[in-house]
Every structure is written in structure tokens, then in C-alpha cells.
Structure 1
Amino acid sequence: MSDKQTSSTQPREDKRAIRVTSLGGGHGLFNTLRAARKVSDYVSAVVTVADDGGSSGRMRRELGEVPPGDLRMALAALSRDNERGMLWEKTLQHRFGGNGALKGHAVGNILITGLSQVMGSLTAALDELAALLGVKGRVIPVCDEPLDLEAEVTGLEEDPREVVAVRGQVAVATTIGQVRRVKIFPHNPQPTPEALEAIEHADLVTLGPGSWFSSVIPHILMPAVVEALNNSSAPKVLVMNLVAEPGEMAGMSMEHHIHMVNQHAKDLLIDVVVVDLTTMQGASERRHFERAASALGARVIYRDVREDDGRGRFSDRHMPDKMATVFQEILDTPIEDLPAHLS
């Protein structure tokens, strides 16, 4: 148990003193960051850099740059919560139309890549944009070089047991086969020092939700990231998806998601796994899931984190307000005292 968790059972009401670091990418990270900034005035996003599709993929291929799309989304999520911030968020996410070379490119992708070239540093460019947007915190690439994702996939050949290598994030995310394991290239890439520092200085660290093999697991394929997570005294929180991702995780149970984390990072220790109440209602299913989570050293808690319209209809996205409530609960309560269910 971390010193930060056992030192006090009193709620921490001053969010200016809290630092949250969230690892991930894409829409899952976007919603997590929106939740995190409700409990903290200093949120750091440690972002995957393996995208090879769309605008990001084009910039990566044509310019040899780190794909900026997930970084752009993190900046948009952390933009200040006022009229000016909303204007910048909308601008970052805006995509050019028409039929020319700019078609499909996001404005934020061009800003990040152009400023990175001018300043000679992607991290410095992201810090400059964060200052422009009024972000209190940082957006940090997990690595300074583009990563390639490769998956071992079965079910693609006549013999369904035959293993086929599928390379590239888009190809992995959309495969109709079953992903058995993923790798990243180059071998043993070095995380940015800023990413490791953000984990070290955090009061709360989150991983997930998101595309499991594309946005979540790539972080823990870096031994230095796993070591930083295990050395951190902050509670480490794994947020489960609401549904299995189409393609890469289709048909996989939530228990299998946990097995995949353990398989790819056997030394990783997690403190809390957050599961939405609606995703796992059977007692037997929960027992199997909790047994799998125990291999990570984790306590499982079931909470309402699903987006709803206030009229009983749910979406397949996490609701930032609800997640923020759970994050605050974890910050305020020693891990061993967290109830599995709220009465």
C-alpha cells in the first residue's frame, strides 16, 4: 500500500495540490482527461505514438514525424473550460474538407508537427501549445519516435490455429482474427524522461479505457514505464472498457482483457480496477474477473461510470463526471477500505 494512500483518510478537497497522470490514447484517453481535470488542476497525459492511419498516418509517412493525432486529442481534452478554450478545442479538432492535399488533415495535427519542426522538439512544441491553450498540466509523448505495432493473430488462415503477423495499428485494430499477443518496434524503445517524471510525481495514475492493444498495452510493453509505475507511490487505476472493441478485442471477455495485461507485463502491479456496473452483472463472472485482477495485485470496484442521457438510455462511452467521482473516491480512501460496491 502506498504511503500516499495510508497517510490520511481525510478527503483532499484542494485539487490544486493533486497531480493526475493518465496513460492511453484516442477517445478513451480524451474522456479520462476530462474526468481527471475535475479532480486536479495539474493533469499530465502520457500518450501512445503508434498511430498509422488517417491524417496522423499520412504525416508519419510523408514527414517521418511522430503521429500527432492522439497528442492533439489530449490537448483538446485539457483545453481550458471557457469560451476561448472551447474555440481552440474545436479548432484543433477541425478537419479540412475539399479535394486537395489538405483534405482530412486535422488543424491540430498540422500545428503540432509544424511547431515541432520549428522548435526542434516535439515535447517543447506540446508545452508551447499547452500554454497557448491554457492547459494546466502537460501532454507528453510516451516515446520520441514513432512506434510500429505488430500482432500475432489466429483465425485468418485455413488452419485457424496458424499464427499470422499483422503489422500496423490500423491493421491490428481492424483484424477479423483473434489477437494473441502484440509487440512494438523498435525493440525496447526508451520512454521520454518527461513521461517517467509525470508518473513519478503523480498522486493518481490511470491506464485505460481505450483500444486495448492499440492504446493501453503499448505503454506497458516498455520496461521503464512498468518500472516507473511499480515504483510510484500513487494509486494505479486500470479503467476497463464498457464493451469489447470491434476487431482487435471482439468476443473477448473482460477477464480476458485482464489476462492480456498480465501476459504482456507480468511484473506490473495495479491497485484498483474500475468496472462499470452494467458490464458484469453475474456473480460467477465477477469472481473469475476478480481472480484474474488479483494477479495484478488489484482490488476490483464496481461503479456507475457509463454515459447516460438522464432518461435511462446509455451509450458505450464513459461519462467524465461519473469517472471524476470515482477518481476522487480513490484519492480520498485507503485502497483496503474501498468497497467493491456502493450501497
Structure 2
Amino acid sequence: MRAPAVVALGGGHGLHATLSALRRVTGPEHGGELTAVVTVADNGGSSGRLRGEFGVLPPGDLRMALAALCGDDEWGRTWADVLQHRFAGAGEMNGHVVGNLLIVSLWERLGDHVEALEWVARLLGAQGRVLPMATVPLDIAADVRGLDALDPAGTSTVRGQVEVARTTGEIAAVRLDPPDAAACPQAVAAVREADFVVLGPGSWFTSVIPHVLVPELRAALCETSAEVVVVLNLEQQLGETTGYSPEDHLEVLLEHVPDLPVHAVVADRRSIADADALGLAVASYGARLVLADVGLDGEEARHDPARLAVVLAELFDR
């Protein structure tokens, strides 16, 4: 049997972990297809500076996805390190990342986001494809409660990915600007043709949920025949999901896209305080709960790609 066609959606470190797991079980080396669909709303750091100066998609999350798809051989490890290299010093290059500059250079030279990313992928020997979720840079706006001391129950609008991620209030909902941005056509096609779609882990309101807010991508996610797998975070994220239980993460995702079919939910056994409550919540959405040890050992709350790969491979084989 061929390895499955899998699409992973997200951004940042969460998507990096998912892709690092998935390339172990599918993708070109395994006779399957692996596609990353990446958020394009970042407005901070090197990505934000390049976006502001050149009017391009923010390249940082795309770069991280490409690095995650590099192989474990000397070529792959070397290029992944080069791609992620961040310049130090006190000049204008401070904080810029080599991979961001490379991607933007190819965008300017070729005039096509997808073609440029494919050139970078070939250079790296990446085991899969990386696509932006939309064809234009997006901004995130959030309705946040608790920012006005005189009206703690009222909501305020917070704009910008960085600003939303760092808010001290409670996020009630997020939306995209522009709300009707065109999705990347290749990303829509990949979702519709996939065997499995993986959402999460990652910054819930700024990396995961934005994908279901792009109209064409949302429609593809709701209409695809693929099985949808949600990978939950290991812990709440200060600012975005302070006080959220695992069940709350699921609830807020499906509040933003009630018609999303969810077939399986993967959670780290050691990070779940009430497995029965989570199990009931998952069952209420018609999905099944997969509890396994998928986190790294130690204090760092990040997924272990090798452990996550085992769990995902078992899901794909069922």
C-alpha cells in the first residue's frame, strides 16, 4: 500500500513538530505526499520587517516548515541549519534570518510565491511541499475581554498577530483582514485530494484557527473526504489560551468552524488532567480520542516528533 497523502496546517514551532513527525511516515521517500499549508499573518521580527518593506507574504513560518522537511542526512541537517541561521550584530541585518532573505529573493526574481517555495524545497532536498494558506499577507484581529478596567465584561479589538499572541485579556474570537482573501489554489487542491488533514498543535488563535477563516480553504476542509486529525497542545499558552482546558481548545476551534468534520483528536497522556472530560468532549463531536505519550521528556512543553510519528502512523494504518 502507498503511503497516504497528508496535509498539515499551522505555523511556527507547532507545525515544525508536526512536519518533523510526518516526514518519517509519508512524503516522497515513503511513496506518499506531504504538504504543509502555512499561515501568512505574522507581523513581527524578521518576517514583519520584510513584509513591511517589500509588501510580500511573511516568510518566517514558511521557512520553518521547509526546515522541518529537511532530511536527517548531512545535506538536510546542514541546509536546515543554514536556513534557520539568524544574524547577530548591531546593524540593519540584526535579527534577519537567512531563509527569510532567500525566500523573498526568489519571490522577487520569479514573481510567483509557490514556484519560489518549490525552488527552495528542491535546494534543500525537502521531503514534501510548502504552500501559503493565502495569496496575500493577512492580519489577525481579535475580540478580547478584560482589557478595559471600567468594563471587564466588554470586548476590545486587538489587531496584529504579535499583539493578539501577547494580549493579557481573554480572546473571544478572531477574524482575518481582509476577510475574503483568496486562498492559495494549490493549498485548496491539496486539502481536497488528501487522505488525511492534520490541524495543530500550535498557537491556537494565531496559527491554527486562521486556516479555517480563509473562505476557500474553510470550504475545502469541510468538504474534503480526508480524515481530519486535531493534535492538541501540551499546555495552555500564556496570553492566547490562558486558563483553557484541552476541551476548551476543541470548543473554540469548532465555534469558529462548526461544520468542520473531526475524526480523531491526539492528546499527550501526561498533560491531560481529566481524560474522562476530554473523552466526552471528543465523542460529542463524533471523533475518537487518542491518548499517547507524544511530548518531549523534561520541562520543555514541546511535541516529540519521533513519538508523534508513531501515533500518526498508527492512525493512518487503521
Aligning the two structures, in what range does the TM-score lie when normalised by the shorter sequence? over 0.9
**Equivalents in 2 of 1:292, 1:49: separation in Å?**
30
Distance, in Å, in 2 between the alignment partners of 1:72 and 1:296 is 34
Distance 2:34 2:47 in 1: 24
For residue 217 of structure 2, give the secondary structure of its aligned residue in structure 1: helix
Mapped partners of 1:85, 1:332: distance in 2: 28
Q: Deviations over 1:147-200 (max 9, x none)?
A: 100000011111211210000000000101000000101012121111012112
Match of 1:85 in 2: 76
**Large movers: runs of 4+ above 3 Å:** none
The structure-2 alpha-carbon separation of the partners of 1:262 and 1:295, relative to structure 1 and needing over 3 Å to count, comes to: farther
CA–CA separation in structure 1 for the residues paired with 2:95 and 2:79: 18
Q: 1-side partners of 2:73 and 2:48: how far apart?
A: 31
Partner of 1:178: 170
Residue 304 of structure 1: CA displacement?
1.0
CA distance in 1, matches of 2:43, 2:285: 31
The reply to whether residue 131 of structure 1 matches residue 122 of structure 2 is yes
The one-letter code sitting in structure 1 at the alignment partner of 2:26 is S
State the SS of the aligned residue for 1:289: helix
Q: Deviations over 1:195-247 (max 9, x none)?
A: 01211222221000000001000001123223212332222100000001111
Shift of 1:297: 2.8
Map residues 49-60 of structure 1 onto 2, 5 A cutoff.
49-60=40-51
Q: Is the 8 A contact 1:306 1:314 kept in 2?
A: no
Are the aligned partners of 1:268 and 1:296 in contact in 2 as well (CA < 8 Å)? no
Instruction: Give the distance between the partners of 1:250 and 1:157, measured in 2 at CA.
Output: 18
Cα displacement string for residues 23-82 of structure 1 (whole angstroms, at most 9, x for unaligned residues):
000000001000000111232100000000000011111111100000000010001221
The amino acid across from 2:289 in the alignment is: V
Aligned length: 312
Residue aligning to 2:30: none
Moved more, 187-196 or 228-237: 228-237
2:6 is matched with which residue?
20
Instruction: State the superposition RMSD in angstroms.
Output: 1.4
- For 1:224, the aligned partner's letter is E
2:141 counterpart SS class: strand
**Contact 1:226/1:267 (8 A) holds in 2:** no
More deviation in 222-231 or 129-138? 222-231
Taking the aligned partners of 1:292 and 1:220, their CA distance within structure 2 comes to 20
Aligned pair partner of 2:112 in 121, 126, 142: 121
Q: Contact 1:262–1:295 at 8 Å: present in 2 too? A: no
Quick one: which amino acid aligns to residue 256 of structure 1? D
Secondary structure, in 3 states, of the residue corresponding to 2:58? coil
The aligned residue for residue 295 of structure 2 is 306
1:263 maps to 2:249: no
Amino acid at match of 1:162: G
Which SS does the other structure have where 1:274 is aligned?
strand
- Equivalent residues of 2:179, 2:213 under 8 A apart: no
For 1:288-315, what per-residue CA distance to the aligned partner results, in whole angstroms no more than 9, with x for missing partners?
333433454321121110112xxxx353
Q: Does 1:289 align with 2:278?
A: yes
Task: Tell me which of 228, 233, 240 is aligned to 1:236.
Answer: 228
1:279 Cα deviation from its structure 2 partner? 1.7
Q: Give 1:102's aligned amino acid.
A: M
AA aligned to 1:51 is D
* SS of corresponding position for 1:66: coil
Other structure's SS at 1:196 match: helix
Identify the range of structure 1 (79-88 vs 320-329) with the bigger mean alpha-carbon deviation: 79-88
- Alignment-derived partner of residue 7 in structure 1: none
Alignment of 1:1-343 (within 5 A): 12=1, 17-41=3-27, 42-158=33-149, 159-282=151-274, 286-308=275-297, 313-333=298-318
Aligned partners of 2:210 and 2:190: how far apart in 1?
Answer: 17
% identical equivalent positions: 47
Q: How far apart in 2 are the matches of 1:289 and 1:265? A: 19
Q: Secondary structure at the match of 2:148?
A: coil
Q: Using the alignment, how far apart are the partners of 2:74 and 2:116 within structure 1?
A: 23
The answer to which of 320-329 and 273-282 deviates more is: 273-282
In 1, are the aligned partners of 2:183 and 2:215 still within 8 Å (CA)?
no
User: Equivalents in 2 of 1:288, 1:80: separation in Å?
Assistant: 39
Which secondary structure does the structure 1 equivalent of 2:296 belong to? Answer: strand
Q: Select between 107-116 and 291-300 the one with higher mean Cα deviation.
A: 291-300
Give the letter aligned to residue 182 of structure 1: V
CA contact (8 A) 1:69 1:109 kept: yes
**Secondary structure of 2:290 counterpart:** strand
